[in-house]
């Protein structure tokens, strides 16, 4: 899994999503863009990919598209409309774009997947909508994360777990709540 932390300026969301899909198809990878305010950290997205792949392998996925299934897990929601809040929108966005090779690759296939990810990431970074590459996950928006993932002050006060750990717990709970 590769991540591109960046700023985006999107004029036409449908066209941008289609460009990501085309790049993903060309390189045999999954590409999903997230509003960085809703991403706790890299481990949050790694866990979402892991759980989405497991659901797909078991035939328990909600979405037909792997990128959408990853979005559902990252958002900790089964409803696509609600999960889409976590995606990017038209206008200016602080974003993180996930590029991930096909699940289940081993040996030389895994090495090829990494090459495909790197090539796709390079093309994603060259898209017109990407106005700059810069860290977007260094500082999390705790208020937005707490609100989106419904993490209360009482819950945070009852544990010494980080906000990131609590977000990953919400992602994992989606498995239980199915």
Assign 3-class secondary structure to 38-106. Answer: HCCCHHHHHHHHHHHHHHHHHCCCCCCCHHHHHHHHHHCCCCHHHHHHHCCCCEEEEEEEEEEECCCCC
Q: Which domain holds residue 22?
A: 2-177
Q: How far is residue 113's CA from residue 111's CA, in Å, rounded to a whole number? A: 5
> In CATH, what number is assigned to the domain containing residue 173?
3.30.2380.10
CB 103 within 8 A of CB 37: no
The structure tokens 């659901």 sit at 55
Look up the pTM and report it.
0.90
* Residue 177, pLDDT score: 60
pLDDT tens digits, one per residue of 57-107: 999 999 999 999 999 999 999 888 889 999 999 999 999 999 999 654 444
pLDDT tens-digit map of 141-153: 899 999 999 999 9
Residue 173 scores a pLDDT above 90: no
C-alpha to C-alpha distances, 177 to 42, 73, 133, 170, 174, nearest whole angstrom: 24, 12, 36, 10, 5
Q: How many CB atoms lie within 10 A of CB 166?
A: 17
- φ, ψ for residue 27 (rounded to 5)? -100, 0
What's the token pair of residue 104? 């289940």
Cα 46 to Cα 54: distance, rounded to the nearest angstrom: 12
Q: Two tokens at 166?
A: 């609590």
Total domains in the fold of the chain: 1
For residue 142, give both structure tokens.
């705790």
At residue 178, does pLDDT exceed 60? no
């Amino acid at each position: 899994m590769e991540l591109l932390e960046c700023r985006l300026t999107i004029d036409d969301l449908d066209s941008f999503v289609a460009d990501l899909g085309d790049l993903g198809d060309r390189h045999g990878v999954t590409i999903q863009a997230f509003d960085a305010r809703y991403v706790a950290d890299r481990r949050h997205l790694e866990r979402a990919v892991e759980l989405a792949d497991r659901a797909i392998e078991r035939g328990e996925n909600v979405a037909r598209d792997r990128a959408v299934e990853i979005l559902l897990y990252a958002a900790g929601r089964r409803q696509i409309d609600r999960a889409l809040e976590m995606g990017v929108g038209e206008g200016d966005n602080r974003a993180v774009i996930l590029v991930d090779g096909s699940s289940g690759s081993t040996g030389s296939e895994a090495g090829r997947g990494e090459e495909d990810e790197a090539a796709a990431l390079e093309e994603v970074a060259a898209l017109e909508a990407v106005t700059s590459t810069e860290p977007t996950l260094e500082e999390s928006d705790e208020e937005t994360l707490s609100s989106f993932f419904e993490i209360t002050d009482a819950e945070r006060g009852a544990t010494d777990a980080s906000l990131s750990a609590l977000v990953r717990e919400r992602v994992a709970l989606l498995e239980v709540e199915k």
